[in-house]
A = this chain, B = another copy of it.
Amino acid sequence: MNHDDSNEIDYSMLKSRLGYKLRRAQMVYFDVFAEACAREGITPGLFGILAIVYHNPGLTQSAVSNALDVDRSAMVAAIDKLEGMEVIERRKSKHDRRSYALYLTPKGKTFTERLNQKVEAGEEAFTTFMEEGEREQLLETLDRIIQARRGS
């Protein structure tokens, strides 16, 4: 029986690597998300789409992919799936016959609201180890990282 957590490993080359720590932390929150709503058949990526379309109805696929900073080719299968779940729909744009305007179905709206509550609750149940205001500070720093990309 080895004493488990003190696993005697020297992490010194990774100890200060933000890339590594962010990846590990994200894996943790991926689990938090999955625990909250994997049963619903929704992944973090799909939730992001629902969250954007919920508050921005009528956006094109390209606009959503731009908002989430993923390639527009990744939208196709994602929207196909959400459309198959009958929570989103593509309507032909009248101004631009190339593109679709995305809307949540009534079912999709309540679905997204329920999902949002579950995700919020799941994350909130996972803040017991954080100091007062630490979460807000973390969000702010992460936002600065995300915004800083062009500047580098």
Contacts and interface: CB of A to CB of B under 8 A. Distances in A.
Interface string A103-135: 000000000100010011001011011100011
A145 interface: yes
Interface in A40-88: 44, 48, 51-52, 54-56, 59, 63, 66-67, 69
Copy number in this complex? 2
A1 interface: no
A125 B56 CA distance: 36
Interface of A: 7, 9-14, 16-33, 44, 48, 51-52, 54-56, 59, 63, 66-67, 69, 112, 116, 119-120, 123, 125-126, 128-130, 134-135, 137-139, 141-149, 151-152
